[in-house]
Amino acid sequence: MFSVLDDAFEKKYAVPQFNMNGTIWLDTILKTAEECQAPVIVGTTDRIIEELGGFKLLVQTFNTKKEELKITVPAILHLDHGQSIESCFRAIDAGYDSVMFDGSNLSIEENIEKTKKVVDYAKEKEVTVEGEVGSVGGTEDGVYSDMLYADIDECLRLVNETGINSLAPALGSVHGKYRGEPNLGFNEMKDLRKTTSVPFVLHGASGISNEDLKKAISYGHAKINYNTELNIAWSNALRKVLNENPELYAPMEIIKPSKEAMAEVIKNIFKRTGAYQKKK
Ligand code: 13P
């Protein structure tokens, strides 16, 4: 994970994280990454880990899929929004490459204390850690939360006092669909960039324009997270095929157009983030 983000940070592109909501997603993400020769991060949100089969099964499935599909691009399994230290430890023990500890609802003191525990544990196993300051609002996995802008001093404290490998500063992006136009805090991004050289992570990237994306990458966002754009493509294609073919019940025929629709979105995102053809 480290070298993947470092390369992106240095060369001013970003590696997308695509969240998986089942093996259909995993299969499509890995195949498209290989086709595009792009490094990729597969995110599994802590909130739906049990539905996805649990940490151990996810690691086994991820590694087996990579082998079976003969994936040669860097492909990383990442715990998205780890809800507790214990969850992060379990993911690390199971063999995840990278974890995020989400201390966004904690005081900065508690966020630092818990993130540091995760970093210390992760380091021994060469697993990378992402931390968050402020709160990316919006709806994710059916749960709504308010948006809270990251405080720059708190961001610096989290970076310096924990040794995280990447920082997700909440600066105006939201999970799920935007109500109105996204309004990212570029001034804050610029100020924050001057104070630290840690790669940034942009959550809630679905719905952000190419222009804003480019700006965010220019300020050192080396990892950009997508879930909603894929899910919209998947659900629209699924609805269409079922509406147009009310007699159809063969699962593989039903899911084929939604996989193709997601692959198209993924390919487009690799191009927009600059990860396309960036295999090292
Ligand atoms: P979107 O809901 O905008 O796709 O964001 C996904 C995300 O940030 C996952 O952590």
Please provide the average confidence, as pLDDT, over all residues in the chain.
Answer: 95
Instruction: Tell me how long the chain is.
Output: 280
Nearest in space to 151 (alpha carbons), one of 114, 207, 182, 107? 107
Instruction: State what percent of residues in the chain have pLDDT above 90.
Output: 86
CATH number at residue 134: 3.20.20.70
Q: pLDDT (tens digit, 9 = 90+) per residue, 84-128?
A: 999 999 999 999 999 999 998 899 999 999 999 999 999 999 999
What's the average model confidence in pLDDT over 191-202?
95
> Does the pTM exceed 0.85?
yes
Q: What is the pLDDT of residue 222?
A: 98
* Residue 235 maps to a domain: no
* Residue 250 maps to a domain: no
What distance in angstroms lies between residue 247's CA and the mean position of ligand 1's atoms? 34
Model confidence at 64, pLDDT cuts 50, 70, 90, reads very high
> Considering its fold, how many domains does the chain have in total?
1
* Residue 240 maps to a domain: no
* Residue 183 maps to a domain: yes
State yes or no: pLDDT of 150 exceeds 80.
Answer: yes
* Residue 177 maps to a domain: yes
* Residue 272 maps to a domain: no
What distance in angstroms lies between residue 177's CA and the mean position of ligand 1's atoms? 9
Q: pLDDT (tens digit, 9 = 90+) per residue, 212-264?
A: 999 999 999 999 999 999 999 999 999 999 999 999 999 999 999 999 999 99
Tell me the two tokens of residue 151.
């405080």
Q: Please name the residue whose Cα sits nearest to atom 3 of ligand 1.
A: 204
What distance in angstroms lies between residue 28's CA and the mean position of ligand 1's atoms? 18
Instruction: State what percent of residues in the chain have pLDDT above 70.
Output: 99
Residue 130 belongs to what domain range? 2-228
Residue type, 48: I
- Cite the active site residues: 80
State yes or no: pLDDT of 1 exceeds 70.
Answer: no
Least confident stretch, 55-59, 138-142, 210-214:
138-142
* Residue 194 maps to a domain: yes
Query: Any bridge partners for residue 224, and if so which?
Result: 16, 202
Give, for ligand 1, the residue of 132, 203, 265, 272 to mutate: max count of ligand atoms closer than 8 Å to Cβ: 203
Model confidence at 77, pLDDT cuts 50, 70, 90, reads very high
d(CA 271, CA 35): 12
Model confidence at 165, pLDDT cuts 50, 70, 90, reads very high
Tell me how far CA of residue 190 lies from CA of 37, 168, 215, in angstroms: 31, 14, 10
d(CA 16, CA 74): 12
* Residue 249 maps to a domain: no
Model confidence at 2, pLDDT cuts 50, 70, 90, reads low
Q: Where are the alpha helices (DSSP H) in 12-107?
A: 23-36, 49-52, 55-68, 85-94
State yes or no: pLDDT of 211 exceeds 80.
Answer: yes
